[in-house]
Amino acid sequence: MGKTIDLNNFVDMFKALGHPIRLRIIFELMESERSVSELWHLLGVSQTLVSQHLAVLRHSGIIKSFRRGNTVYYSILNPIVVEIFKLIQKKLKGGKKYVS
């Protein structure tokens, strides 16, 4: 038999991706690393809400945070997520980054 796969890891990742704001965050981070301030301006939602969603993505291992000076930035940690998003975009042939 092959390797045993812990399906809980899959479930956790897909749960983390299961919210429109978190999906929009991923799309923005695919473009470039971003600070919380940049993200809440880009997404048009409160800084508190962005921070909460970033925490979910960080705890699931999808993104990482790092400090540059006094500012915390976020970027994609798991490149598989980027590949999944690109495949879905290609399949849907969407011309826009995202539609809310």
Residue 100 lies in a domain: no
Residue 44 lies in a domain: yes
* pLDDT, position 99: 53
3-state secondary structure of 34: strand
Residue 40 lies in a domain: yes
* pLDDT, position 33: 97
Residue 99 lies in a domain: no
Question: Domain range spanning residue 55?
Answer: 7-92
Considering its fold, how many domains does the chain have in total? 1
Residue 97 lies in a domain: no
How much is the average pLDDT of 6-32? Answer: 90
Q: Which of 54, 77, 59, 76 is nearest to 9 (CA)?
A: 59
Residue 98 lies in a domain: no
Q: Rounded to whole angstroms, what are the CA distances from 19 to 4, 71, 72?
A: 28, 25, 23
Domain at 63, CATH number: 1.10.10.10
String of DSSP letters for 66-95: EEETTEEEEEE--HHHHHHHHHHHHHHT-S
Mean pLDDT of the residues in the chain = 88
Residue 1 lies in a domain: no
pLDDT at 14 over 90: no
- Beta pairing class for 34-35 and 63-68: unpaired
